[in-house]
């Protein structure tokens, strides 16, 4: 069957008229950088003063981009998506925890999420961030190969045990772990730990994935090198490819500290890296499983065309397409409708704890050229089709 990202009837079949109108209002608001910046400032201010704004946030931006406040609420959202053959990456999006106690307490939360996912039909993935289990400062020292103290060495061993606990429970329950990419100046220890977990748990199947941000000059090479290690040692390689999330921060730090920016010079260079990564991953399916996180329709269609040219079935278990919940429904639902493995990154957590995530979504939709306009035009096309 032919695949089109213009089919809004399929794209928004899971949204009723009221939800569609609300999404229309929200993306219209995010189309204005003034409104977005003002909204973010007012939200931060209101939270500092403990003003009762949780209800407003929950019924607007939270409802659009998050699955719920609890595992059970997120589970209900995933059930709705499952009716349309869309699977879920259940993302506990609480950020900014920084003590050893916080890191220890995060482990049972993720174990609970894994075991819950295993009891559901359509939650094959759980994303994790290593900075949710480790001190950023420690990761920075390890990345720079600085000497660490005996206490820091013990702290790093505890990080390894936390991640190992999560990965072992995941492999036992046949749930896949997506290790998120982070800033380039802490990435090496994250890569090392993730490769170790792959070597340990990706024997029979691919349960552990690392993330490669293609807006970084060197990440395509890193991915290829890590794949060769996996191939040589005989374990499955899980590759999640994304364009990237920390561009402004990366460039600012490089300028401040006087080293060459690790970021590609322009969008065209990043697009080329991303598409080259698609080529590489699809060339090595089997040993490699690809989780393709993108809102770029051209990259997605490129992958679909390559799979078709190779005679690879849309249901092949080594390829997943993914978009964030609340965005690019025209891609996710049309891919699912055509039989591909389509996945939604579904964040959940208490409203006040996921505010940093929501602020990034609002900023991203304002700053990514054409993103909000595209979302809005598709929503309005469907509203017109429905006559609302």
* Series of mean pLDDT values for 10-residue runs along the chain (388 residues): 90 96 88 66 65 76 91 96 98 79 93 96 96 95 96 97 98 98 96 98 98 97 98 98 86 93 94 97 97 96 97 97 96 98 95 77 60 89 96
Full domain range(s) for residue 51: 1-66+354-388
Q: What is the CATH number of the domain that holds 73?
A: 3.20.20.220
Does 232 lie in the same domain as 107?
yes
296 and 387, same domain (yes or no): no
**Of 333, 348, 363, at which residue does a domain stop?**
348
What are 155-182's pLDDT values in tens digits? Answer: 999 999 999 999 999 999 999 999 999 9
**Global pTM exceeds 0.85:** yes
pLDDT in the model for residue 219 = 97
Q: Are 24 and 114 contained in the same domain?
A: no
344 and 372 assigned to the same domain: no
For residue 290, what are its two tokens? 């690809």
* Domain shared by 57 and 144, yes or no: no
pLDDT given at position 47: 60
275 and 359, same domain (yes or no): no
Residues 318 and 205 occupy one common structural domain: yes
Provide the H-helix boundaries in the chain. 8-11, 17-30, 33-48, 54-57, 63-65, 71-82, 100-118, 136-143, 150-172, 187-201, 219-233, 247-257, 267-283, 297-310, 329-337, 355-367, 371-386
What is the per-residue pLDDT for 203? Answer: 97
Total of domains in the chain:
2
User: Domain check: are 262 and 116 in the same one?
Assistant: yes
Q: Same domain for 88 and 139?
A: yes
Mark whether 157 and 276 lie in a shared domain: yes
Q: What is the model's pLDDT at position 33?
A: 67
Rounded CA separation 278/325 (Å):
22
359 and 43 Cβ atoms separated by less than 8 Å:
yes
Do residues 8 and 97 share a domain?
Answer: no
pLDDT at 272: 96
**φ, ψ dihedrals at 274, nearest 5°:** -65, -45
Supply the pLDDT for residue 98: 80
Looking at the structure, do residues 161 and 188 belong to the same domain, yes or no? yes
């Amino acid at each position: 069957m032919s695949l089109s990202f213009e089919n809004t009837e399929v794209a928004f079949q899971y949204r009723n008229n009221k939800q569609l109108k609300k999404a229309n209002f929200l993306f219209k608001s995010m189309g204005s950088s003034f409104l977005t910046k003002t909204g973010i400032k007012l939200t931060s201010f209101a939270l500092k003063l403990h003003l009762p704004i949780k209800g407003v946030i929950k019924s607007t931006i939270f409802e659009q981009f998050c699955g719920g406040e609890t595992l059970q609420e997120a589970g209900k959202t995933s059930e709705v998506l499952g009716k349309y053959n869309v699977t879920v990456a259940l993302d506990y999006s609480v950020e900014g925890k920084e003590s050893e106690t916080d890191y220890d307490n995060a482990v049972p939360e993720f174990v609970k999420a894994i075991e819950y996912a295993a009891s559901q039909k359509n939650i094959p993935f759980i994303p994790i961030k290593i900075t949710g289990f480790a001190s950023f400062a420690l990761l920075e020292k390890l990345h720079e190969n600085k000497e660490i103290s005996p206490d820091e060495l013990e702290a790093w061993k505890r990080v390894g045990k936390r991640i190992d606990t999560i990965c072992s429970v995941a492999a036992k329950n046949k749930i896949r772990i997506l290790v998120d990419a982070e800033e380039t100046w802490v990435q090496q220890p994250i890569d090392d730990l993730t490769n170790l977990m792959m070597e340990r748990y990706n024997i029979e199947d691919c349960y552990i994935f690392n993330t490669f941000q293609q807006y970084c000059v060197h990440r395509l090479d890193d991915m290829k090198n890590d794949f060769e290690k996996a191939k040589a040692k005989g374990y499955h390689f899980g590759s999640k490819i994304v364009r990237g999330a920390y561009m402004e921060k990366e460039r600012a730090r490089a300028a401040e500290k006087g080293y060459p920016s690790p970021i590609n010079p322009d969008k065209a260079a990043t697009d080329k890296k991303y598409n080259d990564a698609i080529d590489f991953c699809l060339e090595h399916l089997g040993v490699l499983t690809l989780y393709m996180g993108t809102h770029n329709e051209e990259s997605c269609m490129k992958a679909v065309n390559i799979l078709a040219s190779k005679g690879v079935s849309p249901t092949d278990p080594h390829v997943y397409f993914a978009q964030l919940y609340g965005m690019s429904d025209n891609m996710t639902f049309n891919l699912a409708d055509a039989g591909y493995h389509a996945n939604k990154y579904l964040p959940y957590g208490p409203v006040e704890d996921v505010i940093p995530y929501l602020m990034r979504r609002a900023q991203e939709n304002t700053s990514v050229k054409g993103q909000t306009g595209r979302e809005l035009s598709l929503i309005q096309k469907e509203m017109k089709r429905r006559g609302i």
